[in-house]
Amino acid sequence: MMSKYNNISSRRSNSFFGNVDKVALMLYIALVGVGILSITSASYDTEAASGFSMSHNHMKQLVWAGFSMVVGLVILLLDRRLFHMFSFPAYIVGIGLLVAVLIFGREVNGAKAWFEFGGVRVQPVEFAKIATALMLARIVSDYSFDINRLNSLFKVAGVIALPLGIIILQNDTGSGLVLCSFLFVLYREGITKYIYFPVVFTVFLFIVSFIFTPELIFTVLLIAFMAYSALKNGAIAGHLRLLALLLLASLLIALLTPLSGYTALMIVCGIAAAILGFMAIRLQLRQLLWPLLMFVYAMAFVPTCDVLFSKLEPHQQNRILTFVGMKSDPKGIDYNVEQSLIAIGSGGATGKGFMEGTQIKYDYVPEKHTDFIFCTVGEEWGFMGTTFIILLYIALILRLMKMGERIRETFGRVYCYCVAAILLFHVWVNVGMTIGLMPVMGIPLPLMSYGGSSLLAFTILIMIAISLDASANEESV
Amino acid sequence: MEHRERNTRYLYLRVIVGIVCAVLLGRLCYVQLIDDKYDALAKSNIMRSEVEYPMRGEVLDRRGEFLVKSRVCYDVMVVTDNIPKTGFDTVRLASILEITPEKLAKQLDKADNSPHAPFLVVGYLSQDAKLLLDEESFDGFYTRFRTAREYPRKIGGNLLGYVGEVNQNQLKRWSHYDAGDYIGVGGIESAYETELRGEKGVSYRIYDTHGAVMGEYDDGALDILPVKGKQIVSTIDGRLQEFAEELMQDKVGAVVAIEPSTGEILVMVSSPTYNPDLLVGRQRGNSYMELLHNQRTPLYNRAVMAKFPPGSTFKLVQGLIGLQEGVLRPSDTHPCSMGYTYGVGRHNRKLKCHSHRSPLNLRQAVAESCNAYFCYVFKDIITNPKYGSTKEGLRKWNEYVSSFGFGKKLGSDFTDELTGFVPTPEFYDDRNNGRWNWGTVISCAIGQGEMECTPMQLANLAAIIANRGYYYMPHIVKHVEGEERLDERFYKRNYTLVDSVHFETIIDGMWRSVNVAGTSRKAYLEGWDVCGKTGTAENRRQYKLNGVSKSAPDHSAFLSFAPRNNPRIAIMVYVEHGGFGSAIAVPIASLIEEMYLTDTIKRPQLVEEIKNTKLNYGYYDYQQQKYDASREQE
């Protein structure tokens, strides 16, 4: 791989911009543009006459956008080898910043995740994301790396877990979870299903265990696994009647004995699992072992979930509980989502028009120019506007993936995928929270939310990807 | 990893991106296009309807001067949701609102029970304080326009009534009202509530999330303006009312004066009275309780509610009935030797009279107020053989008396009126197990015994005599803004069962009583031909003073009109425990007549003397002691 770099001296600098992906660049500029428009509307002050004062949010953001463009331009001009070269130092600096903010940082909304320099707030995690993406790309692109080998996996896990741990310590779990989106990248890099499937299954169990009662989960799982077993092998179909009886018995036990329904069900499930296991061995059906293992795992995991949950901070518990509708918290998290939904919902098909959103204008939407900036789009431009924005993001994500695919080297590909994964996670969680699909996590809408450091970080993140892609293209010319 | 596997994974990942996109767009489609509840929610978020209270109508007196005015004040409202979480300067706010910080904290606690809803913190904020509040702008607090009553002359407490908040019963009874609305209580305020209250309006405004008004919704297209209450011109003569109240100070009783040619009430005093300003604003509750605890019952409108024995003033009615029934001729004389003796043997009883010459004819008997004379007349009326029995005689008598407006509400526009009582044969049957005769009921002859009248009914009697046989329903309102006429009933003459020819004799007696010789000499006004009849009513009130049981002094009453021809004022003065009719009631009535007829007072020293007369009310003092003692025990 290194040998290829020797040819780069033949680069013609005047054709470099010809190789920059225009689509990605246009999408980036479009998103920053609508972001500034939305901030203008969200920050509109009915009392201040002039819209061009520097104290206005949209003017500040405009300055930040200009600065970001300059930085972006510089990045595009940089030699891509620098990214590879500096990924490790960048990672170290990133980790250092995270630790520093943990010690010297400023607490905002309960999270100690901010530096403040003369009125400008910077969230180091924004930059740590870039560093981690670079570091991950570097590790995966190493010669000796094999994603399905244990020591490689440990490396990956370590690279992700280190910043994640510090971010959780900062009490900024929402931002930390972004790093989990790298699973998306690892899947592309061929991680075995024996790893990703249990992880996905665990996440699935984690979510459903909050929404539904354990009784229901086990009953559904029991039926699902039996149905699966029956479909996989006809031989077991004959025993289904027996299992159905067991199920009935469990319900009877649940109703008649002093045992709680939960305990009774656990007993029945245990018996069912034992029988399944017995049959799997007896009939030498290996494929039955998988559902069996999952089932046993679920039985162990769901009760553990409760314990884990009780370890969470009260505000985190609140957010999750409110999200799954188990706890009403007027004027709290629920209130934010309600107001957000009202703003977006009242936008209708075409919206109320620029600067005409009443919920925005009269302050009903909390954090309307930062985390809930999407409400401005929803209320003022309606479904037309929200669709347009979502499609811009999706197009950018798909474009980044495509860029990753066409870069021959692993480093560029992994990095592009990392950027796509980060964007996908942000869009999903941020938009999802404004329309009540996700719990409220304090993460911004990339490129659009008000905040200079966030805009700068996402610009760097994306520009590196474009740069990597551009120089790879040039090389192939 | 194989090439094929890579492509599959790339595809799957794009599918995941597609799913994310589809889920987000699907949810957005549902929220923005399908579910239409958010439009209404958004509207209800920013828009709040606020009741716009109207200015309550004013009340003028017959000369066009204000008896009741409306002044601007404000309710202070709060939506606790909109109070900043960081708190605010409660001490400062309390001082602007002129309440204690403790009271403010208590109100905010209550308001917190429904944090989204506006809650009344305190009412009756002055305009200056409101400006101060606006200036300092406390988030979550706002003001609401209201009006409060103001009384330039500070007279006519019971006459005018007061304005309070509607109570639960009233809310249930009348759909017009909502909690927090004001309603007239008692007096003119309650009688003319529908005219005075005006119509509430409503305004829709845009509020931001902090509760600050951001403008009118839809430029006020949906707003309804409040309509000011109607102005009312009262029949009361404010100056005369004030004068009468001053004369009645430190006396318990009532004065009612009526213009006989219209039935318009010129003066209506119930004493003790109170300064109506006391029942306005924040001090109303405390003032009200204080008035309620006063055993002289200042909140009780004696002028239309009291049940007083009419005493000798009733002899006029007795004489008129006798004349109409033909059992009495003006020239008939009856003897009187210090009273009227009736009954036989050991049941022999005597109804006493004061010393005067004897025998007297009807004119003289009226002038001298002879008890015996009217006992003869009354006996002759109810034992008239024409009716077969005393019972039927009494029934006929009751019919006559009722035609003078006694024993029933006069049907005035005044809502607090009570009926008084005229005994019926059935009443005596009931009380005496059917065993009674004319002797049992003889005290009715002189307005004692079971007869009970309100001062207004007696003033109406004065008007009837002044009119020679009919009356207009006494009323308190002369004109309602925007209306041509009052209710038709106030223009109708109500005739008594006594023909007008019989009145001249009685009037002559009343004239003599004032102008020639009699009990009413002190009512003489040169050139005004005042006619009058005194009354001294016995009562059964007992009290204890230093452990000794005592009987309360007689009530003092005077019924009068003037001048004799084309009378302009008919008046009734009733002073509880005032002693002889001539002692206190006559000068009060006379001074009021003088003031009304001549616009001046030529007897200032008499005015001072009357004003400074402080009657001794052993009975009420005793009641007050007992009441206070029982309250202390609780």
- Residues, chain A, total? 477
| B238-271+301-622: CATH topology | Beta-lactamase (3.40.710)
Q: Which residue has the tokens 């939310």?
A: A449
Percentages helix, strand, coil for chain B, rounded to the nearest 5? 40, 20, 35
Chain A residues with beta carbon closer than 8 angstroms to that of B29: 383
Residue A322 domain flag: no
Chain B residues with beta carbon closer than 8 angstroms to that of A401: 10, 13-14, 17
CB spacing of A424 vs B39 below 8 angstroms:
no
Specify whether A117 is located in the same domain as A160: yes
Q: Which residue has the tokens 């006493």?
A: B352
Q: Which residue has the tokens 């009774």?
A: A264
CB spacing of A437 vs B24 below 8 angstroms:
yes
Can you give the pLDDT at residue B435? 85
Can you give the pLDDT at residue B218? 76
Separation in Å, CA of B29 to nearest CA in chain A: 7
Q: Does B35 touch chain A (CB under 8 A)?
A: yes
Q: Which residue has the tokens 């819209």?
A: A51
C-alpha A134/C-alpha A140 separation (Å) is 10
Q: Does B108 touch chain A (CB under 8 A)?
A: no
Which of A187, A200, A360, A394 to substitute to test the interface with B, most B CBs within 10 Å?
A: A394
Residue A198 domain flag: no
Which helix (DSSP H) or strand (DSSP E) does residue A263 occupy?
Answer: helix A261-282
Specify whether A247 is located in the same domain as A377: no
Here the tokens at position B17 are: 């991106």
pTM value is 0.68
Residue A321 domain flag: no
Q: Give residue-wise pLDDT tens across range A357-371.
A: 888 888 888 888 889
Q: Scanning every residue of chain B, which has its alpha carbon at the shortest distance from the alpha carbon of A357?
A: B42
Q: Which CATH number fits domain B48-234: 3.90.1310.10, 3.30.70.100, 3.40.50.1970, 3.20.20.450?
A: 3.90.1310.10
Chain A residues with beta carbon closer than 8 angstroms to that of B38: 341-342, 344-346
Specify whether A238 is located in the same domain as A371: no
Specify whether A345 is located in the same domain as A470: yes
Q: Scanning every residue of chain B, which has its alpha carbon at the shortest distance from the alpha carbon of A342?
A: B38
Separation in Å, CA of A432 to nearest CA in chain B: 7
Least-confidence region, from A249-263, A330-344, B15-29, B191-205: A249-263
Neighbours of B29 (CB within 10 A): 16
Specify whether A156 is located in the same domain as A56: yes
Give how far the C-alpha of residue B468 lies from the chain's centroid of Cα atoms, to the nearest Å.
Answer: 29
Residue A401 domain flag: yes
Can you give the pLDDT at residue A122? 86
Specify whether A24 is located in the same domain as A126: yes
How many independent structural domains does chain A possess?
2
How many interchain CB pairs under 8 A, A with B?
118
Can you give the pLDDT at residue A149? 87
**Range(s) within chain B of domains with CATH label 3.40.710.10:** 238-271+301-622
Residue A288 has pLDDT above 70, yes or no: no
CB spacing of A349 vs B45 below 8 angstroms:
no
**Percent of all residues in chain A with a pLDDT value above 70, rounded to a whole number:** 77
C-alpha A311/C-alpha B82 separation (Å) is 34
C-alpha A67/C-alpha B476 separation (Å) is 83
Do A447 and A28 touch, CB atoms closer than 8 A? Answer: yes
Q: Which of B33, B35, B45 sits opposite A364 (nearest CB)?
A: B45
Can you give the pLDDT at residue A133? 95
Which of A44, A182, A342 to substitute to test the interface with B, most B CBs within 10 Å?
A: A342
Q: Which of A348, A362, A428 sits opposite B46 (nearest CB)?
A: A362
- Torsions phi, psi of A272, nearest 5? -60, -40
SS3 per-residue string spanning B553-572? CCEEEEEEEECCCCCCEEEE
Residue A397 domain flag: yes
Specify whether A87 is located in the same domain as A122: yes
Can you give the pLDDT at residue A408? 86
- Degrees, nearest 5: CA angle A35-B13-A442: 40
* Max CA distance (Å), chain A: 83
C-alpha B316/C-alpha B459 separation (Å) is 13
**Spans of chain B below 70 pLDDT:** 1, 211, 344-347, 581
ipTM greater than 0.95: no
Strand-pairing partners, residue B207, are B213
Across all residues in chain A, what is the average pLDDT?
Answer: 81
Chain A residues with beta carbon closer than 8 angstroms to that of B208: 361-364
Can you give the pLDDT at residue A2? 43
A306 against B313, higher pLDDT? B313
Residue A47 has pLDDT above 90, yes or no: no
C-alpha B250/C-alpha B57 separation (Å) is 32
Q: Could you say which residues from 201 to 220 on chain B have a Cβ atom under 8 Å away from some Cβ of chain A?
A: 206-210, 214
Can you give the pLDDT at residue A3? 43
Chain B residues with beta carbon closer than 8 angstroms to that of A187: 9, 12-13
* Max CA distance (Å), chain B: 146
How does residue A217 score in pLDDT terms, banded at 50, 70 and 90? Answer: confident
C-alpha A333/C-alpha A343 separation (Å) is 16
CB spacing of A344 vs B31 below 8 angstroms:
yes
C-alpha B337/C-alpha A66 separation (Å) is 123
Do A179 and A131 touch, CB atoms closer than 8 A? Answer: no
Q: Scanning every residue of chain A, which has its alpha carbon at the shortest distance from the alpha carbon of B29?
A: A383
C-alpha A369/C-alpha B426 separation (Å) is 87
Q: Which of A345, A390, A401 sits opposite B21 (nearest CB)?
A: A390
Specify whether A120 is located in the same domain as A218: no
Chain A residues with beta carbon closer than 8 angstroms to that of B6: 188, 190
Give how far the C-alpha of residue A120 lies from the chain's centroid of Cα atoms, to the nearest Å.
Answer: 26
Which of A188, A329, A358 to substitute to test the interface with B, most B CBs within 10 Å?
A: A358
Q: Scanning every residue of chain B, which has its alpha carbon at the shortest distance from the alpha carbon of A413?
A: B10
Here the tokens at position B381 are: 């009326």
In order of A17, A41, A375, A383, B519, the CA distances from A434 in angstroms are 38, 17, 7, 14, 94
Specify whether A167 is located in the same domain as A25: yes
Separation in Å, CA of A32 to nearest CA in chain B: 20
C-alpha A225/C-alpha A234 separation (Å) is 14
How does residue A293 score in pLDDT terms, banded at 50, 70 and 90? Answer: confident
Where helices occur in A141-239 by DSSP H, the ranges are 150-169, 173-177, 183-188, 193-211, 214-232
C-alpha A147/C-alpha A259 separation (Å) is 47
Respond yes or no on whether the N-terminal peptide bond of residue A198 is cis (omega within 30° of 0): no
**Range(s) within chain B of domains with CATH label 3.90.1310.10:** 48-234
Chain A residues with beta carbon closer than 8 angstroms to that of B21: 390-391, 394
Do A161 and A113 touch, CB atoms closer than 8 A? Answer: no
Q: Which of B24, B38, B39 sits opposite A431 (nearest CB)?
A: B24
Residue A465 domain flag: yes
CB spacing of A184 vs B206 below 8 angstroms:
no
Residue A134 has pLDDT above 80, yes or no: yes
- Give the strand pairing for B59-60 and B66-78: antiparallel
- Its domain, for residue A450, covers 19-44+52-191+338-476
Can you give the pLDDT at residue B269? 95
Specify whether A57 is located in the same domain as A175: yes
Q: Which of A46, A424, A435 sits opposite B31 (nearest CB)?
A: A435
C-alpha B598/C-alpha B601 separation (Å) is 8
C-alpha A150/C-alpha A69 separation (Å) is 41
Give the residue among B383, B307, B302, B308 at the shortest CA–CA distance from B342.
Answer: B383
Coil, strand or helix at A188: helix
Neighbours of B568 (CB within 10 A): 16
Strand-pairing partners, residue B267, are B257
C-alpha A124/C-alpha A128 separation (Å) is 6
Do B530 and B563 touch, CB atoms closer than 8 A? Answer: yes
CB spacing of B13 vs A187 below 8 angstroms:
yes
Residue A140 domain flag: yes
C-alpha B295/C-alpha B262 separation (Å) is 36
Residue A200 domain flag: no
Do B247 and B607 touch, CB atoms closer than 8 A? Answer: yes
CB spacing of B17 vs A394 below 8 angstroms:
yes
Specify whether A303 is located in the same domain as A403: no
Mean pLDDT, rounded, for A330-337: 68
CA-CA-CA-CA torsion for B105, B111, B113, B116, nearest 10 degrees?
-140
In order of A342, A394, B16, B373, the CA distances from B21 in angstroms are 21, 7, 9, 112
C-alpha B570/C-alpha B51 separation (Å) is 46
Specify whether A379 is located in the same domain as A425: yes
Q: Which of B14, B41, B214 sits opposite A401 (nearest CB)?
A: B14
Q: Give residue-wise pLDDT tens across range A141-184.
A: 988 888 888 889 899 999 999 999 998 888 887 888 888 899 89
